[in-house]
Amino acid sequence: MDVKHYYNPQGEEILDEKIYGGSPTGFVDFNRSKYRWDSNIYDLMNANTWFPSEVNTSTEKKNFEALTDNEQSIYKMTFAQLSFNDSAQEEYLSDFRRLANNRLVKSVISLQIMQEVNHSKSYAVLLDACGNSEEVFNLYKYDAALNKKNLQVAEQFAKYIDGGSADKMLLSAMASVNLEGIYFLLGFSYIYLLGDKVPGARDMIKFIARDELNTHLPLFANIFKTIQKENNIATSTIDAAYKMIEDAVKIELEYGHYLLDQFPIMGITHELMEQTVYNYANDRLKKIGLDPIFDESATTYLQKLVTKHLEMNEVKSNFFESNVSNYAKSSIDLNDF
């Protein structure tokens, strides 16, 4: 590796560092943030710090065994897929970080990487308590639909991640928007539907969902918008971004429909799933500054369940207010670019 990769006294001024392209001097200075959303998201990520040991999993095995056969299958197939998402995201983030230029944005990604590892650890803790860790982590070997979704998620990550152009960086950021904003969502809602029957799983997912939706999604939405603003992005690239989210919607619904057909539970319908995923996809498009393209319907029951569990609890909000004093909670702006 070139020494300049670590220290380049002739490099750019910190406030000139773009997300893609250029040569940073090599300093991380949180007091000179070019974008502001980067350090705000970093502070919010830190304020939300949690550990799997905070979740009570002592009755998870007993609770799991009391579920119906279909509910047990939904539980296992959901964790089998979500755990893959976090494993893939950790690796993708390491690659994206390496190809990015702005050191402060890279630092925020470093913290996100830590959080994704924490999510992987939390699945292992939960499933170990449940007594089916090995079975769940091996399901991809036996279930073709699960294997297919994992493969499609991996293909979206792999397709553009070579740092060859700003357009490719933009589309690789889109893969992350899809992961944080689409591929987790039906899984989260299934676990919330089981809810009080499996409080260990519900509480673990609550913490994970807050990380994914409150900070990781805004981070990559801002990265997407910033790369677009800082570079002359081709119209065909934006068309490809729309195509990627259309593919993500198909991938999420295909696995969702498969699970529902195999293991019907609690009045979920294909239509409810479609409305939910379409609404989320439109929201993600708006977050990255593009136009919504899917049929919009009223906020669904599944969306309301996910939103309800995003609220910070007492402990976390106290922690937040006492620890993050450099900005008032009401004025946090994660989209100020």
Q: List residues with catalytic annotation.
A: 123
90 in contact with Fe ion (CB under 5 A): no
Query: Smaller CB distance to Fe ion: residue 60 or 86?
Result: 86
- Nearest residue to 172 (alpha-carbon basis) of 294, 19, 335: 19
In whole angstroms, the minimum distance from the beta carbon of 89 to Fe ion comes to: 5
274 is in an annotated binding site: no
Closer residue to Fe ion (CB): 40 or 178: 178
CB of 208 to Fe ion, least distance (A): 6
To the nearest whole angstrom, how small is the minimum distance from the Cβ of residue 284 to Fe ion?
14
For Fe ion, the closer of residues 213 and 268 by Cβ is: 213
Q: How far is the CB of 186 from Fe ion (least distance, A)?
A: 15
Using CA atoms of 41, 294, 150, 70 in order, give the dihedral in degrees to the nearest 10: 100
How near is the Cβ of 86 to Fe ion at its closest, in Å? 4
β-pair partners for 134: none
Closer by beta carbon to Fe ion, 54 or else 321: 54
Taking CB under 5 A as the criterion, the residue among 116, 203, 230, 252 binding Fe ion is: 116
What is the per-residue binding string for Fe ion in 211-240, x denoting contact by CB under 5 A? -x---x------------------------
Q: DSSP strand E in the chain: where?
A: none
Cα 195 to chain center, whole Å? 21
User: Of the ranges 13-21, 79-87, 102-110, 223-231, which one interacts with Fe ion (CB under 5 A)?
Assistant: 79-87
How far is Cα 48 from Cα 306, in angstroms, rounded to an integer?
Answer: 17
Q: Say how many residues touch Fe ion, by CB under 5 A.
A: 5
86, 203, 252, 274: residue in contact with Fe ion (rule CB under 5 A): 86
Contact, 306 vs 189, CB < 8 A? yes
Q: Of these, 34, 106, 119, 149, which contacts Fe ion (CB under 5 A)?
A: 119
Q: Which amino acid does the sequence have at 105?
A: V
User: What's the CA gap between 273 and 268, in Å, rounded?
Assistant: 7
Residue 182 CA: distances (Å) to CA of 60, 160, 289: 27, 19, 17
Which residues sit opposite 24 in a β-bridge? Answer: 12
Distance CA 44, CA 21 (A): 27
User: In the complex, which residue's CB is closest to Fe ion?
Assistant: 216
The nearest distance, CB 219 to Fe ion, in angstroms, is: 9
* CB-facing half-sphere around the CA of 175: CA atoms within 13 A: 23
Neighbouring residues of 80: CB distance < 8 A, sequence distance ≥ 6? 136, 137, 139, 140, 143, 146
> Looking at 7-15, 30-38, 112-120, 224-232, which segment touches Fe ion (CB under 5 A)?
112-120
Length of the chain: 337
Helices assigned H by DSSP within 100-234: 103-130, 133-137, 144-159, 166-178, 185-194, 199-210, 217-230
Q: Is 270 annotated as a binding residue?
A: no
**Cβ-based nearer residue to Fe ion, 119 or 210:** 119
Determine if residue 86 is labeled as part of a ligand binding site: yes
Q: Residues in the site for Fe ion, rule: CB under 5 A?
A: 86, 116, 119, 212, 216
Annotated binding site: 86, 116, 119, 180, 212, 216
Annotated binding site for Fe cation: 86, 116, 119, 180, 212, 216
